[in-house]
Structure 1
Amino acid sequence: MTLLDDVMDRTVSRRTFLRSSAAVGGGLMIGFTLPSAILPADAATGSEPFAPNAFIRIDQTGKVTFISPMIEMGQGTFTSLPMLVAEELDVDLTNVVVEHSPANAKLYGNALIGGVQMTGGSTSIRAFYMPLRQAGATARQMLITAAATNLKVDAAGLTTEPGFVVHAASKRRIGYGELVDAAAKLPVPADVKLKDPSTFRLIGTPVKRLDVAGKVNGTAIYGIDVKLPGMKVATVSASPVFGGKVASVDEAAALKVPGVHQVAKLDNAVAVIADHYWAAKQGLEAAAVTFDDGPHASVTTADVVAALATASEKPGAVATDKGDVAAALAKAATKVEAIYEAPFLAHATMEPINCTVQVKPDSCDVWVGSQVPDIAQAVVAKSLGLKPEQVTIHNHLLGGGFGRRLEVDFIAQAALIAKQSKDPIKVVWSREEDITQDMYRPYYFDRMSAGLDENGRLTAWSHRIAGSSIIARYSPSWMKNGVDPDAVEGAAEIPYAVPNMHVDYVQVEPPGIPTAFWRGVGPTHNIYVVESFIDELAAAAKKDPVEYRRALLADNPRALKVMETAARNAGWGTPLGPRKGRGISVQFAFGSYLSEVAEVTVADNGTVRVDRVVAAIDCGVAVNPDTIEAQIQSGIIFGITAALYGEITLKDGRVEQTNFDTYQMLRIDEAPKIEVEIVKSSEAPGGLGEPGTSALAPAVLNAVYAATGVRLRKLPIDTEKLKSESRSG
């Protein structure tokens, strides 16, 4: 059992979680109230604020505090989620203060991820759209009931306007703050009526981010900003080869550096503790740490790829099996085959890994930015031999997560370092440590086969995925019959109509190399493969890529609409200049339909510039169009970075990339023009944090083919191949 499975066991099962949600008409945990120990008393009266559920507090001034079940790492949840509460509660968003939730999966678990308290998988709005509306509506109903008693009128004759209960007949109104004491004494209603979407005042309107001011004026606090009395700072050097151990440390030399107080040793790493980061860094250099490389000292990227290629020659665990693919391929007028590769990728968040820990004899406090506060609490407790309730997690804004902060390796490490000191310790990794000790998006190796009839129509589809399983490590109980559901997402179900289809998965673990979720994870590789291969089929059928897809999407109106919208807005079919091309991709992933069109220019030396990206998204109900557009823009930039530059390689067991000079980011002068259209929809909300990234690479590669005639099947883009094989402009 992994730590995640253990956390799920001691909190709430998915089945129980969903049953308790359904019991309140779609609302989530509405019957729970926050423990008084974590409810701040009203400053003026000393009384507890009105807290009808785990998400809302209203004090006697009428101020509303929203306890966010999801963390904020730049994706806009601290604006979009309170919009849901404010809509149904009927308050102005400017009167809402947002706090991180404490570590408590029973109250703040994510129903779409098995009830774990986790921010990831583009699930924040999807998981909490109905629960938070229910929470706001419940509080509003209780305030109305309290007002009816106060005004001595029938509750049916009362309505609300932002922050007030109104009795239209007598033209009286009473502020929420005046009602909280009475409302707090009322039973929580088991069922309340939600607003009709036609009456929404906030949902669907573009609202500027509530957290922008703090990030601009410097008052926003990230994990790396934490300061405590008596705090010391540590930095770390871990074995450059995964699985290696510390061999020697010159502790005396480190202690001679001014400001250095202590050297802390772990099995695979050494930390130097000092008054400030620079002293710690200088002390670490003086310590001249050496390592026993262990069993993986000779591993190279070529070894990893060779193992994947060999494993992919044999059948894997079946994810999809429809019709008779073998027979259809045998009868096909044209057979197309291809192999695609996607490299290891680092997260390289703007805020490097950090964690502050204070260990006391019978308790521990942790200040960190984590996507999984409940799991963080559990790993610290396990590391220090404490009970989870003895560990307090103070969660902070994240300067980028992208899946890296779904992991708790660095939190456990910080706890073990702090255990060796009487002072609170802030552990900060260097950028080099951040990249070389990351947990990487897996290397994937895909074998594709398809059959076309005499008219070029797709009759057979075979897709074999070989790669590491993140799920098998993270939560084995989520594996089904040998299939990692993340590794096949975007491949097991594609938006196109295919009569005969087979998809299987071969789990291949790279020697010693840790793999983890990365913005988009499975779909970032599967959409790249599927949409690139669809373009190959269009070329084999001598069809325009949009026209070819249109025929395959005849029974998928939402996918068809986003494709046609993106193509129209991009001016598909209009001429471009020499060595310029357009490419398109279509996807259904994370509950949203998205199409992107990329326009590129390929220079004579093979370098690629993405000039323009046009996107159309159907994400169901659009809660905050401003955030939606920003998330697609952000995902596109992240995707371009990976497509052009992203690659982690190994030599002699060591990661070769160490900083932004060797793990390059897209520069501001390379950013394309981006246009986003949100397709109006009344369907349930879909995810947004990751779709923009996963749809980008195939659109760019298909555009490169249109510009040069060179088909690229390996990322990042091979400029030497383009230089040598491109047709003349």
Structure 2
Amino acid sequence: MNAVANRRAFLTGGAALTIGFTLSVKGARATTTPLLMPNAFVRIHGDDGSVVVIAKHVEFGQGPATGVATIIADELDAAWDQVRVVFAPANDTLYKNLAFGTMGVGGSTAMRESWDQMRMAGAAARAMLVEAAAKRWGVEPGAITIAQGMVSAGSRKASFGELVEDAAKLPVPQKPVPKTPDRYVYIGKHVSKVDSKAKTDGSALFTQDVRLPGMVHAAVRRPPAFGATVKKVEDGAARAIPGVLDVKPIPSGVAVYARDTWTAQRGAAALEVDWDMAKAETRSSDQMLAEYSAAARTPGKQVEATGDAAAALARAAKAIDATYYFPFLAHAPMETMDYVIEKKGEGIAVHAGSQFQVGEMRAICGVAGVPFDKSALVQHYAGGSFGRRATPVMFDGTEAAACARAYGFAAPVKVVASRENDLTGGFYRPMTVHRVRAGIDASGAISGWDQVCAAKSIMKDTPFEAMGIRDGIDGNMIEGANDSNQYRIGDFRLGQHLMQGGVPVLWWRSVGHTHTAFVKETMIDELLELGGKDLVAGRMELLKHDRAKAVLAKVAAMAAFGKPAKKGRAKGIAVHESFDSFVAQVAEVSKGADGLPKVHKVWCAVDCGIAINPDIIRAQMEGGIGYGLGHALYAELTLGAGGVVQQSNFDSYRSLRIGEMPDVEVAILPSTEKPSGVGEPGVPPIAPAVANAWRKLTGKAVRRLPFAHGDNA
């Protein structure tokens, strides 16, 4: 999603440290020993000198827990093994995302918005330890050094824990001075992830792991088409299943309560429901695609225009008129949406891997009918998201709240979505159609580009509409296509159609860039070839940003792009900027036995500013390549007759298998720029790189994803 840029501020505590403070944070221990608490993010314990970092972002595998710990540990000069991370409570005042104005993470903002804040948080704590040591030993602060959690001045030494009580009496510095890059100890180096051991030995808690005394399990039978409602329920067969406890109607369908999740899901499947389809979305994908395609052939609302694209196209020596089709896609995280809700006094406790902690808790409390300020979020690890846990309307959390309320809060209620629920009744990347008309002049230079995009808006009619739609334009839909395509194109126009419909849509890993990068990079490839231009040098001439040029040059060199590929193979290249990061990729492709692209190797160059954790950056590039490749090759959600989703599990919603993952080589370019996004930018270039290789190999341009679609045979 597009975040509001350049809104960074440092949040400090209003006073120095207190003694005997008990942290109301999951995983933090009650103590009567001194605590150093200069701000909302750092706690140093006096008994053992341990450094507790409070992470305000959900950890679903993208690495922010390790990222914030790395920044703070570096500023503190703490020993890595004395650092641990706990999750923050739902509190906007202390833990809001500075890019959003509320708690949450998305748009690859975790490190981008935390960088300055975490540096200052760590620097404040360090300054207080230094001052405490200087006063104790009667020396100037400049004589104090800290290394690996030990404070020293000549032969005198003290641990963090030994200085906490003295440091607690000092005022919190309002303008601490963070380190310069030449003094970094952990930033840019290898450190083990803070959650690796817990996730390996099983001690890391996910919502799936939560077991509470007397807990019941709920499963929801959702309608066959979006927008349908319950007219009548026959629940006799469900209630007859041993272990089923109750059946209750809720706004999104019918909830079945049981002793365990499997029994609840069996009970939900056994219900006989008569659905009211009066307000349901009953169009098929083919019908929607026809409407989108017709819209894309008209100008739409103008997003951006430079020069006169129509005139340039009219006088073009050669032109291409192409329509691109992108299907609905599911996020399909390994851990489906799940919640545990229990009554606690006047409020509730919600166990979840929440991505928008405060917004979701407010929505859940509203449905549950309990006060927000009497309720608590117990934040857990989450098994993936890719955007799925960040629904603007907070659907899954409020559905769980409806289940708990319908049960009368008689017991803790655990709601786990089945894979079928997630795929057939979830939220999807929008179906999208682009039409591009582009031309070259007699010299082979691009002489005009007119592009129109048609899709349903993710933001419209949600609480995020004011942030995401300005002057009738949805920035999520056309990000990566606007700003003159990130290339210098003198005569350029971009238009947009906001389509209507009942299928719920949501940002999906890299959001609009998932389709705009494909359109841009495949069309550029074709135009350069049409004009007799070199595919790398031609891009270099057009690219606006030096950082984009640098990653392009790097990946071309890594892959020896100018040299012939192995017999029966071809190489394709793509470069794209997203979330303030620049990524270029080369894919080496052959034709597989199934007639689809077989990707042997991918080279990737990334400039994401200062590389806080290089191993995490590489992992995110590798993961983004695998995720993007699997969906580009195979994945498609289609609505059949009556608006019924046709794919219900991984047997029909095909993704990449482990044996299909290509070899990946990643180069991280050195940078002095502030850290930028890495969770999403690895996804956009992979599909166009493969498509460009495929066109070289077969002579056929790819206009429709996935590659497995019949149009690409």
> Does TM-score exceed 0.5, indicating one fold?
yes
- 1:545 matched to 2:553: no
Asked if structure 2 preserves the Cα contact closer than 8 Å seen for 1:247 and 1:292, the reply is: yes
Q: In structure 2, what is the equivalent of residue 77 of structure 1? A: 64
Which residue of the partner structure matches residue 371 of structure 1? Answer: 355
Name the amino acid aligned to 1:699.
A
Cα distance change on mapping 1:275 and 1:602 into 2, 3 Å: same
Instruction: Determine the structure 1 residue equivalent to 2:226.
Output: 242
| Separation in 2, partners of 1:193, 1:297 | 57
1:528 maps to 2:488: no
Is the Cα–Cα contact under 8 Å of residues 296 and 497 in structure 2 kept in the other structure?
yes
1:387 Cα deviation after fit:
2.5
The CA distance in 1 between the partners of 2:14 and 2:86, in whole Å, is: 20
Paired AA for residue 85 in structure 1: I
Pick from 492, 497, 520: which aligns with 1:501?
492
Q: Say whether 1:350 aligns with 2:350.
A: no
Q: What is aligned with 1:677? A: 667
After the TM superposition, which of the residue ranges 696-705 and 574-583 deviates more from structure 2? 574-583
1:213-265 per-position Cα deviation (integer Å, ceiling 9, x unaligned): 11111111111111111111111111111111123323333222211111121
Q: CA 1:98/1:434 → structure 2, altered by over 3 Å: closer, same or farther?
A: same
Residue 557 (1) aligns with residue 546 (2):
yes
* Pair 1:572 & 2:558 matched: no
SS at match of 1:460: strand
Query: C-alpha distance in 1, partners of 2:15/2:488?
Result: 45
Secondary structure, counterpart of 2:516 in structure 1: helix
Cross-structure match for 1:727:
none
CA distance in 1, matches of 2:514, 2:663: 22
One-letter code aligned to 2:196: V
- Candidates 690, 695, 707, aligned match of 2:697: 707
Q: Which stretch has the larger CA shift, 181-190 or 363-372?
A: 181-190
Q: Name the structure 2 match of 1:450.
A: 438
Measure the CA separation in 1 of the matches of 2:266 and 2:338: 18
Residue from 145, 155, 175 that aligns with 1:159: 145
Shift of 1:579: 4.1
The secondary structure found in structure 1 opposite 2:438 is strand
Contact 2:15-2:171 at 8 Å conserved across structures: no
1:470 to 458, 474, 478: 458
Give the Å deviation of 1:296: 3.0
Distance 1:372 1:259, change over 3 A: same
Q: The residue matched to 1:626 in structure 2 has which SS?
A: helix
Given residue 426 of structure 1, which amino acid in structure 2 is its aligned partner?
K
More off after superposition, 464-473 vs 513-522: 464-473
- Contact 2:365–2:372, Cα closer than 8 Å, also in 1: yes
SS state of the match for residue 534, structure 1? helix
Q: Distance in 1 between matches of 2:69 and 2:694?
A: 42
Q: Which residue identity is paired with 2:689? A: A
Q: Secondary structure at the match of 2:116?
A: helix
Which residue of structure 2 aligns with residue 145 of structure 1?
131
Deviations 1:665-687 (A, max 9, x none): 21111111111111111112111
Per the alignment, residue 58 of structure 1 pairs with 44
Determine if contact 2:281/2:503 at 8 Å carries over to the other structure: no
Offset at residue 297 of structure 1 (A): 5.5
* Kept after mapping to 2: 8 A contact 1:359/1:415: no
Trace 1:230-629 onto structure 2 (pairs within 5 A): 230-296=214-280, 298-360=282-344, 362-407=346-391, 408-421=394-407, 422-474=410-462, 475-478=464-467, 479-493=469-483, 494-509=485-500, 511-553=501-543, 555-603=544-592, 606-629=595-618
* Cα-to-partner distance string for 1:367-401 (whole Å, 9 max, x where unaligned): 01111111111101211233321221111111011
| Percent pairwise identity | 37
Which protein is richer in helix relative to its size? Answer: 1
SS at match of 1:216: helix
Q: Once the two structures are superposed, what CA deviation does each residue of 1:339-383 show, in whole Å capped at 9, x if it has no partner?
A: 111111001110112111113562011101111111111101211
> Per the alignment, do residues 706 and 32 of structure 1 end up closer, same or farther by CA in structure 2, a change over 3 Å counting?
farther
Q: State the partner residue of 1:656.
A: 646
Q: Is the 8 A contact 2:581 2:606 kept in 1?
A: yes
Going from structure 1 to structure 2, the CA distance change for 1:577 and 1:164 (only over 3 Å counts) comes to closer
* Conserved? CA contact 1:579–1:603, under 8 Å: no
After alignment, is 555-564 or 617-626 more displaced? 555-564
Decide which moves more: 135-144 or 171-180.
171-180
SS in structure 1 of the partner of residue 701 of structure 2? coil
Describe the superposition over 1:437-464 as per-residue Cα deviations: whole angstroms up to 9, x where unpaired.
1100001111112232211112322221
The 3-state SS of whatever aligns with 1:405 is: coil
For the residue of structure 1 that corresponds to 2:475, the secondary structure is coil
Note the 1:182-221 alignment, pairs <5 A.
182-221=166-205
Displacement after TM superposition at 1:719 (Å) = 5.8
Q: Which amino acid aligns with 1:139?
A: A
Amino acid at match of 1:261: L
What is the CA deviation profile of residues 129-180 of structure 1, one whole-angstrom value per residue up to 9, with x for unaligned ones?
A: 1110110000000111122222232223222122122112xx2111111121
Q: 1:548 to 1:461 in 2, by over 3 A?
A: same
Task: Specify the alignment match of 2:657 in structure 1.
Answer: 667
1:487 partner SS? helix
Q: Secondary structure at the match of 2:193?
A: coil
1:514–1:87 distance in 2 versus 1, CA, 3 Å: same
Does the alignment pair 1:688 with 2:684? Answer: no
How far apart in 2 are the matches of 1:465 and 1:128? 33
Q: Of 181, 188, 194, which aligns to 2:165?
A: 181
RMSD, aligned α-carbons:
2.2
- 1:281 deviation in Å? 2.3
By how many angstroms is 1:39 displaced? 4.3
| Conserved 8 A contact 1:339-1:446 | yes
Mapping of residues 624-643 of structure 1, within 5 Å = 624-643=613-632
Which region of structure 1 is more displaced relative to structure 2, 55-64 or 268-277? 268-277
Post-superposition shift, 1:604?
6.5
Distance 2:344 2:50 in 1: 35
SS at match of 1:697: helix
Q: Is the 8 A contact 2:480 2:577 kept in 1?
A: yes
Change (3 A) 1:425 1:325: same
Q: Residue 671 of structure 1 aligns to which amino acid in structure 2? A: M
Rounded to whole Å, the distance in 2 between the matches of 1:219 and 1:390 is 29
Contact 1:347–1:438 (Cα < 8 Å) also in 2: no
Deviating more after overlay: 556-565 vs 669-678:
556-565
Shift of 1:107: 1.4
Give the secondary structure class of the aligned counterpart of 1:414. Answer: helix
Deviation of the 1:625 alpha carbon: 0.8
CA contact (8 A) 2:225 2:282 kept: no
Letter in 1 for 2:522: S
Structure 2: distance between partners of 1:664 and 1:418: 34
Distance 2:105 2:613 in 1: 18
Q: 1:42 to 1:245 in 2, by over 3 A?
A: closer
Amino acid at match of 1:63: S
SS of equivalent residue, structure 2 residue 460: helix
Give 1:726's aligned residue.
none
C-alpha distance in structure 2 between counterparts of 1:533 and 1:226, whole Å: 49
Question: Is the contact made by 1:598 and 1:699 (CA closer than 8 Å) also made in structure 2?
Answer: yes
Q: In 1, Cα distance between the equivalents of 2:623 and 2:649?
A: 21
